[in-house]
Amino acid sequence: MTDERTQAAGGRPPLQPVIRPIAPDDAADIIAMSQEFAAYLRSLGDRAPLNFDTKAFRDAGFGPRRAFDGVIAFVDRKPAGYLLFHTGYDVDRSMRLIFIIDLWVRESMRRNGVGRALMAEAARIAREFGAAELVWCVFDPNRLAFNFYEGLGAERIRDLTWMSIPVEKL
pLDDT digits (tens, 9 = 90+) for 36-84: 999 999 999 999 989 999 999 999 999 889 999 999 999 999 999 999 9
Residue 95 lies in a domain: yes
Q: What's the sign of the alpha-carbon dihedral 63, 124, 96, 163?
A: positive
Report the number of distinct structural domains present in the chain. Answer: 1
CATH of the domain at 144: 3.40.630.30
Report if residue 162 sits inside a domain.
no
> Is 166 domain-assigned?
no
Is the pTM higher than 0.75?
A: yes
| Inside any domain, residue 104 | yes
| Amino acid in the structure at residue 87 | T
Q: Distance between CA 35 and CA 51 in Å, rounded?
A: 10
Closest by Cα among 12, 30, 15 to 113: 15
Q: Per the domain annotation, does 47 fall within a domain?
A: yes
Domain coverage including residue 45: 15-154
Question: In this structure, is residue 61 part of a structural domain?
Answer: yes
pLDDT for the residue numbered 11: 62
Sign of the C-alpha dihedral computed for residues 144, 119, 114 and 6 taken in this order: negative
CA angle, residues 52, 54, 57, in degrees to nearest 5: 65
pLDDT tens profile 91-143: 999 999 999 999 999 999 998 899 999 999 999 999 999 999 999 999 999 99
Is there a domain that residue 164 lies in? no
- How high is the pLDDT of residue 1? 40
Closest CA relative to residue 72, chosen from 127, 109, 111, 46: 109
Q: Domain for residue 88, yes or no?
A: yes
